[in-house]
Structure 1
Amino acid sequence: MSKTTLPQLSRRDFIATTIAGAATLAAGPGLAASKTLNLLSHKVHQTVLGTGDGDLMKDWRKANDAELAFTTFDSNPLQDRLFREASLKETDYGVGYLIDNRPTAQIAALFEPLDAYQKKDPIEDFGDIAPGLVQGMTVGGKLIGIPVRHATQGLFYNEALLEEAGIGAPPTTLEELIEQAKKTTFTSKAGTPVVGLVLASDLAVFPVMFARAFGGDFISSDFKLVPDRAAMESGLNALRGLFEAGALPRSYATTKNDDQVTWLQQGRAAFTILPFARAAQLNNPDQSKFPGKIKAVAFPGSAALKGKAPMASVVEAWAMSIPANAKDKALAWSFIREVSSKRVTLGMAINGNGPVRVSTYADAALKAKSPLAAVEAQVLATARGAFPPFPEAARAQATFLEEVQLAVLGRKPVKDAVTAMIERIKPMMPA
């Protein structure tokens, strides 16, 4: 990278670089690797690869005489930095972790197409990686990222509160969920006011899930905006009915994602929708009043669709990509192949990663650690992103959520809110 293109190092970058350098020096001059692969990622991607005796990449490091240097950011700053690096004449980063709802056609052009690499030096049993995740990283017919982690939404419930309300089993249809959410809107024996269902109001995941439960969607994979208006109206009417019954918090308009976790842990809510990976946190005895009692099932579709069409839960996925301006693409692909192997995928899953391979869920070690492995694998098989990426996606999502809130809170008739979201978002849609 020339002096004219060097970005200014932030304090965080300087510290990360210093630590990486110190780690290399600590190994001793005789053990220093001849190559370094620089990676841009979230901290979690580094953590699940393990350290010390549990380092899943130690054999790869030795075989390639290479060291790994991670620079980590939170999700949005990470994507901004990755796109900025990929826009330069050349970048020192060989691998960047990409979120599946970000690569528009313009952004995808910044990354190396991986089809030729896969053909020449293929990833082990590539067909084992969930097809929906691969589709999310295929733009314009070109594969630009290899899925590495996913967060698939499930329906969590407090078994103790359901039993207290006289409910013997979790819901299998959306109608049953609504009924049970209303029934568990009560004051528990502990004296805690309980709402049936707690959801964050600032995430598109939840209204999208309710629309899909009736066979609809917000934006389909082929960019049809509200492809089934009646289904969207049914989903919003269901949410509005829950709010009117007090089965959604009165603070719904300001409820955040972290609130969902704490409310379930504290017994303030009977149901919520969260990624399956949250199970350990929800049942952590140091944080939860109900360890072992918070369980999860697939989010159910409407009774009218039962047995006819599978419910498509929302999934967010991360993938490993190679910037088109990277220096050592062969080393980058070698890293991606290793991380994508069955061995490392399983190791990362045991360390808390959402595994992208279907076969990983059948492993005895994982099933022993994660009792939700079977149901998560089932849900992942038909899951897809909340909406496909396009240049105005962030603005479209914000507009969608504005109208959803007005409808749920009863400030606008549902039909009018759906009409408004279509009219307002249509000009933002790709041609």
Structure 2
Amino acid sequence: MRHLTTTALAGALAWVAAAAEAETALNALFMSQAAYSEADVRAMTEAYMAEHPDVTVNLEFVPYEGLRDKTLLAQGSGGGYDAVLFDVIWPAEYATNNILLDVSDRITPEMESGVLPGAWSTVEYNGARYGMPWILDTKYLFYNRSMLEQAGIEAPPRTWSELSEQAKAIKDAGIVEFPIVWSWAQAEAVICDYTTLLSAFGGKFLDDQGKPAFTTDGGLQALEYMVQTLEEGISNPNSVEYLEEDVRRVFSNGEAAFALNWTYMYNLANAGDDSAVKGQVGVAPAPGVDGVSELSAMNGSMGLGVTATSQHPDEAWDFVAYITSQPIQNDYAELSLPIWSSSYEDPAVTEGREELIAAASKALAVMYPRPTTPAYNELSTLLQVAIQEALLGVSSPADALANAAASSGL
């Protein structure tokens, strides 16, 4: 009897060992702010694991500012992540340095035809695709309806000059001290705001030869506008220290009439438990410039890809395909709009977000890209410093941008 018990125990242990060996553990890296909430990503992942009991997905969340560094550090140490979130500005660098797998041959016909055509640019470089687009986003102009009404303003601004005029009227009426709030900290956030303005003023980052073109015309005018709003006292001076969540907090507290921010702020400011402006939030495409543009938008989208060092690329791709799928995106459309064309015909996606959908239909069609170059991170860092110097009055906008161009090596 004892012999049989020992044999049974040995068999059970062997089964457990085999099961453990058969189970796949994936490590996935996400960001901890904007777009989908951490709770949403965890819920998506739990649903995936419920359908795939042989796969465990370990999630790690870091601030956006640490996302690229974490990915590169893990790659340098021989791996660690199987699936990673990446910004639209990184495919060139990631492809050049073999950070992500080329998944072009894994894109199904259903994906090809179902995803909005413009969304694919989020994950492409040199004709190859390095993941699935996941967060389709740009910065919108949010405004406080009540404040505009108090100032006798009937509609949100159509141009950036109108925004300044409306902000002055609101300030002069004593409604709020600093009507506009921005995310102008020395980080990628300020580049996103600058890109929006550069696109409105008809500027370029680089010319056809890949040389800096932001030192004149629209690139210079964009920075001059930013500085001017600070000098006129219509932009919150603390904007030079703010990231997007700071902007959301200030706007949601009723301390600003206007804010430039991502899609996720719409629901949180209009209906969030901690918002003091519930039901007062309007949203529109970012303004344009008379004679140059009708509106402005920058590409702030993000993708999900499989790392080149993953030991489980098939399972990692299956996970990526699952959480970027249309049913999942439709279920979690509250904070981030889907990448799928037909989602916008689904009442579950559009109901209660008609104004946001209307703004998105215009803005997403004209999203302006940040430079596509393997050296993007270095160029962005130089521009962040230059913009900060101009905003703080250390340098003139012209001198600050000229110094950045000279230091870029382009």
Please state which band the TM-score falls in when normalised by the shorter chain.
0.7 to 0.9
Q: 1:186 to 1:254 in 2, by over 3 A?
A: farther
Q: RMSD value over aligned CA atoms?
A: 3.3
Compare 148-157 and 370-379 and name the one that shifted more. 370-379
Q: 1:37 to 1:97 in 2, by over 3 A?
A: farther
Q: What is the TM-score of this pair, normalised by structure 2?
A: 0.81
Are 1:110 and 2:103 an aligned pair?
A: no
Are 1:396 and 2:383 an aligned pair?
A: no
Is contact 2:157-2:287 (8 Å) kept?
Answer: yes
Give the secondary-structure state (helix, strand or coil) at the position aligned to 1:301: strand
Give the secondary-structure state (helix, strand or coil) at the position aligned to 1:263: helix
AA in 2 matched with 1:38: L
Q: 2:156 aligns with which of 167, 170, 195?
A: 170
**Rounded Cα–Cα distance in structure 2 between residues aligned with 1:59 and 1:220:** 50
User: Which residue of structure 1 aligns with residue 309 of structure 2?
Assistant: 325
AA in 1 matched with 2:59: F
User: Which residue of structure 2 aligns with residue 86 of structure 1?
Assistant: 75
User: Which residue of structure 2 aligns with residue 375 of structure 1?
Assistant: 359
Q: 1:84 to 1:246 in 2, by over 3 A?
A: closer
User: Which residue of structure 1 aligns with residue 349 of structure 2?
Assistant: 366
Cα deviation 1:268-313 (Å, max 9, x = unaligned): 2211100021112222463222211021100011121246xxx451
Cα deviation 1:289-345 (Å, max 9, x = unaligned): 2211021100011121246xxx45123233221222322322222233333322122
Q: 2:279 aligns with which of 292, 296, 303?
A: 292
Q: 1:331 to 1:250 in 2, by over 3 A?
A: closer
- 1:195 deviation in Å? 1.7
Give the secondary-structure state (helix, strand or coil) at the position aligned to 2:199: helix
The gaps in structure 2 that reach 5 residues or longer are 1-15
Is contact 2:95-2:130 (8 Å) kept?
Answer: no
Cα deviation 1:336-384 (Å, max 9, x = unaligned): 333332212212324x334222332332111114331232243223224
Is contact 2:333-2:349 (8 Å) kept?
Answer: yes
Q: 1:74 to 1:242 in 2, by over 3 A?
A: closer
**Rounded Cα–Cα distance in structure 2 between residues aligned with 1:292 and 1:184:** 19
Give the secondary-structure state (helix, strand or coil) at the position aligned to 1:151: coil
AA in 2 matched with 1:205: C
**Rounded Cα–Cα distance in structure 2 between residues aligned with 1:154 and 1:188:** 25
User: Which residue of structure 2 aligns with residue 9 of structure 1?
Assistant: none
Aligned residues: 385
Give the secondary-structure state (helix, strand or coil) at the position aligned to 1:246: coil
Q: 2:324 aligns with which of 340, 348, 353?
A: 340
User: Which residue of structure 2 aligns with residue 97 of structure 1?
Assistant: 85
User: Which residue of structure 1 aligns with residue 11 of structure 2?
Assistant: none
- 1:408 deviation in Å? 4.1
The gaps in structure 1 that reach 5 residues or longer are 1-27
Q: 1:240 to 1:67 in 2, by over 3 A?
A: closer
Is contact 2:252-2:276 (8 Å) kept?
Answer: yes
**Rounded Cα–Cα distance in structure 2 between residues aligned with 1:381 and 1:149:** 15
- 1:217 deviation in Å? 3.2
Q: 1:67 to 1:414 in 2, by over 3 A?
A: closer
User: Which residue of structure 1 aligns with residue 4 of structure 2?
Assistant: none
Q: 1:82 to 1:206 in 2, by over 3 A?
A: closer
**Rounded Cα–Cα distance in structure 2 between residues aligned with 1:46 and 1:263:** 22
Give the secondary-structure state (helix, strand or coil) at the position aligned to 1:47: helix
Percent identity among equivalent residues?
20
Q: 2:198 aligns with which of 208, 211, 217?
A: 211
Are 1:61 and 2:48 an aligned pair?
A: no
**Rounded Cα–Cα distance in structure 1 between residues aligned with 2:239 and 2:57:** 44
Are 1:278 and 2:265 an aligned pair?
A: yes
- 1:33 deviation in Å? 10
Cα deviation 1:240-272 (Å, max 9, x = unaligned): 332222111244443443332232223322111
Is contact 1:188-1:194 (8 Å) kept?
Answer: yes
AA in 1 matched with 2:178: V
> Pairwise mapping of residues 26-65 of structure 1 onto structure 2 (< 5 A)?
34-42=22-30, 44=36, 47-49=39-41, 51=43, 56-57=47-48, 60-61=51-52, 65=54
Q: 2:134 aligns with which of 148, 155, 162?
A: 148
AA in 2 matched with 1:48: D
